[in-house]
Amino acid sequence: MQTIWVIYDQLWTGNSAFSGYTAGTSRVLMIESDASFRKLPLHRIKLAFFISAMRHFAEELEAAGWQVDYHRHGDTKDYQSAIRSHVEKFRPSSIRVLAPNDYALQQAIPALEKKCGVPIESVPTNQFLLSREDFAKWAGSGKSLRMENHYRAMRKSLRILMTRDGEPEGDTWNFDAENRGTVKDWEAAGTPRPSPAPEIRRDEITERVIFEVNDAFPKHPGDANNLWLPTTRGEALTWLRHFVEHRLGLFGPFEDLMIEREPLLFHSVLSPMLNIGLLTPMECVDAAVAALRSETPPPLRSVEGFVRQIIGWREFVNGVYWLRMPEYHAVNALAAEIPLPDWLWEGTPPMHCMEMAVTQVRDTGYNHHIQRLMVLGNYFLLTGCRPQEVLDWYSAMYVDAHDWVMAANVLGMVLYADGGFMASKPYAAGAAYISKMSDYCNGCRYKPNVKTGPEACPFHSLYWAFYDRHQTRFAKNPRVAVMIGSWKKRTLDEQNEIRNTAAAWIATHHPN
């Protein structure tokens, strides 16, 4: 009898490892690896989400007639010990597994095979729309890649939102320029609020998992009692339908907006379920496109913006990950060496915008992409925080974070640590951006329109000090050269004041 090993983030029967196997001739192996759960201090909501989803999937498999050898984290040291125990008990002729989404686990398979004494076949993943090999062919040997080029190629190959003549619907490839609604735009629209997300079902499995996680991982951040995400495919499909019906229409214009007491706003929050297999990329895309063809369609700009996140960014960051690993983990092009502050884990962040984003992720394990990029990420970039520490924090705290997700997003996009391989410029911003795109500044002790003195927003000095440190690198970058020029026009006294203010902030809030 053969064994199908189902990893925690591959939870659907369309998983290629099941292809050609039946419940009568095969057995399923599932492992809650305690070592994997403790590699980083994973948010307890994240742990509860993973484990509950795994146990529900195992229950669904058993209901469908499959025999499942399930190893729980309290009794399971690591993958090797669980596989060895399985082999000793059931003597499978082979183990088949969908190619892991994690590079380290993929690389560990030959050693696991040797130590456990059974052939382990890794079959190509079908969790993505483009294979790793095809992405590498598209990428070629270029010194840099751009998501927009990849996105257009994906649109063409999949024929999504394309006319019969091979042109993009709406005569443009993306609606970024229209999808940047500010707080003023939101207020002018009547401050629309989203429909509350569907409530999840707290059954006996989930309640047991919540207790176990809080008991076994007391030093990890968060509280498993606050689990708010679907952990079954049925619930995930409900969330997808709800988003399309109630949030998609305003997602486009307000996807970059940040509003207090609205942690989700019009975002789909489908990535946690998508990234563990409860949803598939094409069914999410198809649902949005089907809505566009309905009698009461959402705006094209909203549908296109959502589609781009899935067939654009999701596919792109996965491709970059497999193209550049393992060296990618060590990139640090800007020589950033400032340690992360302790207040990221506990305590009160020193600015209100940071407090809003950090408090939300502590409570829920979630921020939307602009909070991650332009509040938290912007701060880490400007202060020069160590890329690998930032990557670990994102990977630990976010419910949808996996190594393939965060490596390129954090190292490439957020921190420019890869030297521009996947971003044409650093995503650096001063106080004006946060003030325009959020209502966070209203509750802050610092003032975004004050440039110097004790009331000045720290993002002012941090922003200009960043370009001061890196002016040689960016002087010829057409997208930011104007910033370098503006910096050089300042008087020496002005420059020194900014340098000293930024240095004092970092020394105070990032002690070694």
Question: Which of 123, 142, 172 is the endpoint of a domain?
Answer: 123
Last residue of a domain, one of 123, 151, 173: 123
List of residues 6+ apart from 260 with CB closer than 8 A: 356, 439, 440, 443
Backbone angles phi, psi at 43, to 5 degrees: -50, 135
- Is 312 in the same domain as 357? no
Backbone φ, ψ for residue 447 (5° rounding) = -115, 125
500, 356: one domain: yes
Q: What type of residue is 485?
A: G
The pLDDT of residue 24 is: 86
Helices (H), 365-428: 369-370, 378-383, 387-397, 403-406
- Establish how many alpha carbons lie within 13 A of residue 497's alpha carbon, considering only the half-sphere containing its beta carbon: 11
Q: What is the mean pLDDT of residues 375-385?
A: 98
242: in domain: no
Instruction: Measure Cα distances from 356 to 110, 275, 313, 409, 463 in Å.
Output: 45, 25, 25, 21, 20
């002016």: which residue's tokens? 471
Task: Tell whether 265 and 349 lie within a shared domain.
Answer: no
pLDDT band at 200 (very low <50, low <70, confident <90, very high): confident
Owning domain of residue 74: 2-123
Q: Quick one: 306 and 355 in the same domain?
A: no
Residue 216 lies in a domain: no
SS3 sequence, 454-507? CCECHHHHHHHHHHHHCHHHHCCCCCCHHHHHHHHCCCHHHHHHHHHHHHHHHH
Q: Would you tell me how many other CB atoms lie within 10 Å of the CB of residue 389?
A: 16
In the three-class reduction of DSSP (H, G, I as helix; E, B as strand; rest coil), residue 162 is classed as strand
pLDDT on residue 503? 96
* 387 inside domain: yes
Are the C-beta atoms of residues 52 and 231 closer than 8 Å to each other? yes
Residue 333 confidence (pLDDT): 97
Q: Facing residues of 385 across strands? A: 338
User: Average pLDDT of 485-492?
Assistant: 94
Report which of 345, 43, 361 is spatially closest to residue 223, judged by C-alpha positions. Answer: 43
pLDDT at 199: 87
188 and 64 in one domain?
no
Backbone angles phi, psi at 300, to 5 degrees: -55, -35
User: Which residues, at least 6 apart from 363, have a Cβ–Cβ distance to it below 8 Å?
Assistant: 222, 226
Answer yes or no: are the C-beta atoms of 422 and 412 closer than 8 Å.
Answer: yes
Q: Which helix (H) or strand (E) holds 436?
A: helix 431-437
Question: Kindly report the CA angle at 383 between 381 and 386, in degrees rounded to 5?
Answer: 70
Measured CA to CA, the distance from residue 425 to residue 294 in angstroms comes to: 39
Answer whether residue 349 shows pLDDT above 80: yes
Same domain, 161 and 270: yes
Rg of the chain over all Cα atoms, to the nearest angstrom:
24
Question: Amino acid identity of 360?
Answer: Q
Same domain as 117, residue 83 = yes
On the question of pLDDT at 1 being above 90, the answer is no
Closest alpha carbon to 243 in 291, 177, 172, 314: 291
Q: For the chain, give me the number of helices (H) and strands (E)?
A: 24, 5
DSSP for residue 441: G
Q: Are 396 and 500 part of one and the same domain?
A: yes
Q: Could you give the 3-state DSSP secondary structure of residue 230?
A: coil
Average pLDDT over residues 171-178: 92
Nearest-CA neighbor of 71 among 7, 1, 2? 7
- Do 496 and 373 lie in one domain? The reply is yes
Question: What letter represents residue 146's amino acid?
Answer: R
Check whether the bond before 119 is cis (ω within 30° of 0): no
The answer to whether residue 200 sits within a structural domain is no
Average pLDDT along the chain:
96
CATH number of the domain to which 84 belongs: 3.40.50.620
pLDDT class of 223 with cuts at 50, 70, 90 = very high
245 CB contacts (<8 Å, ≥6 apart)?
A: 291
Query: Could you tell me if residue 197 is left (phi over 0), alpha (psi between -120 and 50 degrees) or otherwise beta?
Result: beta
Considering the domain architecture, whether residues 9 and 59 belong to the same structural domain is answered as yes
For residue 421, give the CATH number of its domain.
Answer: 1.10.579.10
- Calculate what percentage of the chain has a pLDDT beyond 90: 95
The pLDDT of residue 201: 83
Q: What are 40's two structure tokens?
A: 């980083």
Cα–Cα distances (Å) from 372 to 12, 167, 272, 366, 479, in that order, read: 29, 33, 15, 9, 22
pLDDT of residue 326: 97
> pLDDT tens across 276-302, in order?
999 999 999 999 999 999 999 999 999
C-alpha triplet 362, 363, 369: angle, nearest 5°: 70
Place of tokens 């809650």: 32
Task: Dump strand ranges (E) for 254-327.
Answer: none
Q: Give domain status of residue 496, yes or no.
A: yes
Rounded to an integer, the average pLDDT of 419-423 is 95
43 CB-near residues (< 8 Å, 6+ apart): 220, 221, 222, 361, 365, 396, 397, 398, 399
In DSSP notation, 15-51 reads SGGGTT--TTTEEEEEE--HHHHHTTT--HHHHHHHH
Residue listed under structure tokens 């629309």: 192
Query: Which pTM value belongs to this model?
Result: 0.96
Together in a domain, 51 and 167: no
Give the pLDDT score at 95: 97
Count of the separate structural domains present in the chain: 3
DSSP-derived letter for residue 197 is P
The answer to whether residue 235 sits within a structural domain is no
Q: Is the pLDDT of residue 512 over 80?
A: no
- The Cα–Cα gap between 379 and 462 comes to 8
Specify if 217 maps to a domain.
no
**CB atoms closer than 10 angstroms to residue 403:** 17
Query: CB under 8 Å, gap of 24 or more: what pairs does 18-24 form?
Result: 19/123, 21/96, 23/64, 23/65, 23/66, 23/67, 24/65
Please tell me the distance from the alpha carbon of residue 107 to that of residue 105, in angstroms, as a whole number. Answer: 5
Domain-located, residue 207 = no
Same domain (yes/no): 35, 146: no
The whole-number pLDDT of residue 511 equals: 82
CATH number at residue 168: 1.25.40.80
Which of 324, 358, 385 marks a domain boundary? 324
pLDDT greater than 90 at residue 411: yes
